[in-house]
C-alpha cells in the first residue's frame, strides 16, 4: 500500500498526509461552523467551485454543495453524460478548462484509485478535494467520522474502533485507519474472509466479528460495495447479515457506552439491523449532518492554503 504523503495545504487527497495538529485544526474549524449553524458571512462570494462526480452519490455530493454554498461559493455541477469527456476529453484537460474559466477548487469522485493524486501531480491549475477514488481513499468521510467520534468521546487516545465489513473494496476503511491511528485510537478489522484486505491488516489486527464488536468503543459497519465486486462474494443478504452484520443479538453484546457508525448508504438488515439505524446509540444521521461542517472546514483549508 502506498502511504506516501499525498495531501498538502492546497489539496486534500487522503488523510495519511495530515498530522495530528492538522487534523485537530480541521475538527476545531468544523466545530466553529457547527456552533454558528453554518450561518457565517459568505466569504467566497464571486468565486467558483466545481463538483465532478463520475460515480453516483447522494449524501457526499449534496453535502459538498451545501458546504460550498454556505461559504458563498458559486457551484458548478458536472454531469459526465453531458460533458466533453464523452468526446474523449481527459480529466486533466477538463480541470485545465475549469481553471481557465475561473474555477478555484474542484471536488472529484472517481472509480479509478489514485486518480486524485495523479491530477495533483500534474498541477492542472485548480485545487482538488478527493471525494472518493476507487477503493483508495475517502478523506472527508474519514474526517467527518473523526469529528463525530471526537464530539462524542472527546480525547480519542486509546479508543478502540472496530471497522467491519467489505474491507477489500472500502476507501472509507483506509482513510479512517490513517486518521484514527494518527489521533491515538486503536483500530481493529473484521468481516468476511472473501472481503479481507491484507494490505490493511499490515497496520491493524483482524479479529472474529463477535470478538471485535464485544471489545469496541465504536463499531463502524461498512457498506457491501456490490458495484465493485467482480464475482459473487456471499450467498444471500440474510446470510451476510447473520454472519457479518450488526444483528440485534450482537448489538446486545456491545459495551454499554459503545456507538454505531456507518458511512451510508445503509443496506438495512444487511450490514445493520433495521432497528439499529435510528437507534439512540447510532450516529448514522449525525455523521451526515457533521459532514457539512467538516467539508466547510476542508474547502476553507484548501482555499486558504492551509490556514484555518
d(CA 258, CA 255): 5
Is residue 59 a known part of a binding site?
A: yes
Q: Which three cell numbers stand for residue 38?
A: 453554518
Is residue 171 a known part of a binding site?
A: yes
Is residue 60 a known part of a binding site?
A: yes
d(CA 217, CA 191): 17
- For helices 284-303 and 139-153, give the axis angle rounded to 10 degrees: 120
User: Cβ atoms within 10 A of the Cβ of 252, count?
Assistant: 7
Is residue 15 a known part of a binding site?
A: no
Cis geometry, peptide bond prior to residue 230 (ω within 30 degrees of 0): no
d(CA 191, CA 212): 10
Strands lying side by side in the sheet with 127-133: 74-78, 48-53, 103-110, 127-133
d(CA 42, CA 39): 9
Is residue 306 a known part of a binding site?
A: no
Is residue 283 a known part of a binding site?
A: no
Is residue 287 a known part of a binding site?
A: no
Is residue 223 a known part of a binding site?
A: yes
Is residue 160 a known part of a binding site?
A: no
DSSP 148-211: HHHHHHS--TT-EEEEES--TT-HHHHHHHHHHHHTT-EEEEE--GGG--HHHHTTS-B--HHH
- Binding-site entries for L-aspartate: 87, 171, 223
- Binding-site entries for carbamoyl phosphate: 59-60, 109, 138, 141, 264-265
- Binding-site entries: 59-60, 87, 109, 138, 141, 171, 223, 264-265
Amino acid at each position: 500500500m502506498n502511504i506516501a504523503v499525498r495531501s498538502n495545504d492546497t489539496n486534500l487527497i487522503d488523510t495519511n498526509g495530515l498530522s495530528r495538529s492538522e487534523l485537530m485544526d480541521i475538527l476545531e474549524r468544523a466545530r466553529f461552523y457547527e456552533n454558528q449553524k453554518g450561518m457565517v458571512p459568505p466569504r467566497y462570494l464571486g468565486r467558483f467551485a466545481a463538483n465532478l462526480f463520475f460515480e453516483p452519490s447522494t449524501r457526499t455530493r449534496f453535502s459538498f454543495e451545501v458546504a460550498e454554498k454556505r461559504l458563498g461559493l458559486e457551484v458548478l455541477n458536472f454531469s459526465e453524460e453531458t460533458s466533453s469527456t464523452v468526446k474523449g476529453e481527459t480529466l486533466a484537460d477538463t480541470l485545465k478548462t475549469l481553471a481557465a474559466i475561473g474555477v478555484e477548487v474542484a471536488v472529484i469522485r472517481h472509480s479509478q484509485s489514485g486518480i486524485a493524486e495523479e491530477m495533483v501531480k500534474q498541477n492542472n491549475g485548480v485545487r482538488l478535494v478527493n471525494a472518493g477514488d476507487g477503493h483508495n481513499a475517502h478523506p472527508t468521510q474519514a474526517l467527518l467520522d473523526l469529528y463525530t467520534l471526537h464530539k462524542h468521546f472527546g480525547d480519542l487516545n486509546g479508543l478502540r474502533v472496530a471497522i467491519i465489513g467489505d474491507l477489500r473494496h472500502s476507501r472509507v476503511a483506509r482513510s479512517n485507519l490513517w486518521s484514527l491511528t494518527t489521533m491515538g485510537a486503536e483500530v481493529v478489522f473484521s468481516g468476511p474472509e472473501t472481503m479481507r484486505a491484507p494490505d490493511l491488516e499490515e497496520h491493524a489486527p483482524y479479529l472474529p466479528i463477535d470478538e471485535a464488536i464485544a471489545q469496541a468503543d465504536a463499531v463502524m459497519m461498512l457498506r457491501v460495495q456490490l458495484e465493485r465486486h467482480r464475482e459473487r462474494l456471499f450467498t444471500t443478504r440474510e446470510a451476510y447479515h447473520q454472519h457479518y452484520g450488526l444483528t440485534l443479538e450482537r448489538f446486545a453484546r456491545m459495551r454499554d457506552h459503545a456507538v454505531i457508525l456507518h458511512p451510508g448508504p445503509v443496506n438495512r438488515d444487511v450490514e445493520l439491523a433495521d432497528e439499529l439505524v435510528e437507534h439512540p446509540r447510532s450516529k448514522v444521521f449525525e455523521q451526515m449532518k457533521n459532514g457539512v461542517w467538516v467539508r466547510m472546514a476542508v474547502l476553507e483549508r484548501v482555499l486558504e492554503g492551509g490556514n484555518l
